[in-house]
Amino acid sequence: MSWIQGRPLRLAGLVLIGLALVAAVAGGVTALSGGNGGDTAAPTSTPPPGDSGSAQNPPPSEVPPSPPASSEVPPPSSAAPPTPPASTPPPGEPVPPPAPGGTPEDQAAAKWVTVRVYNNSTIHGLAARAGDDFRAQGWNVAETSNYSGGIIPTTTAYFRPGVADEETAARALGAAFGMRVEPRFEGIAGSSGGVIVIVTNDYRGATTKGK
């Protein structure tokens, strides 16, 4: 009978011990989970907002500004402006015409060119007289004759186009004797080389002294 009465007490003690063990286990688990609850998240490597990118990129104030390429004006050139040719007259003044027959040296050098004189006037012997005037100034007169191929309006010295020596000689003769100077026309285009002078009634002889 005493054994039966002691059995419930033993069972109760075992239950109490079991509860105590359960409580102890539960307490330990709670302690473990509570101590690691704030450290479960891994720390992030992203810097705070105020320091983002400060390790790689300097702050804007430390980046030197690049100078604008198109805003710079090149300094004015120190080279002097080109000067006009010495022979150019100032603005507003008339340009002098070129000297007929070139320079005096050119005129003198052209006197070797053959000159043929033809009379187209009503004055007998005018070609011979003009030829003597030309020879007196050193010109190479090779022939004097008459021209009957038409009426020439004024005394004229003719040269072959493109022959520089003949043009120079014709212009020199024109300047010295007051004659018109022109390229040869069709009626005398095939004549012998040299300057052809056709004198008319208006021939007056030399207007300048020979050299």
Confirm whether pTM is higher than 0.85.
no
Could you report the per-residue pLDDT of 103-123, keeping only the tens digit for each?
555 667 789 999 999 999 999
Per-residue pLDDT, 94: 40
Q: Among candidates 154, 121, 117, 156, which has minimal Cα distance to 135?
A: 117
Per-residue pLDDT, 90: 46
What is the torsion angle, in degrees rounded to the nearest 10, for the CA atoms of residue 141, residue 144, residue 147 and residue 151? 70
Residue 112 in tokens: 């070797």
Q: Which fold has domain 104-199?
A: Alpha-Beta Plaits (3.30.70)
Residue 78 in tokens: 């120190």
Could you report the per-residue pLDDT of 47-87, keeping only the tens digit for each?
455 444 444 554 555 555 565 555 555 555 555 544 444 44
Could you report the per-residue pLDDT of 118-173, keeping only the tens digit for each?
999 999 999 999 999 999 999 999 999 999 999 999 999 999 999 999 999 999 99
Report how far residue 95's alpha carbon sits from residue 90's, in angstroms, rounded to the nearest whole number: 9
Average pLDDT, the chain: 74
Reply yes or no on whether the pLDDT at 184 is more than 80.
yes
Number of C-beta neighbours around residue 100 at 10 A:
15
Beta bridge partners of 14: none
- Cα 41 to the center of its chain, rounded Å: 74
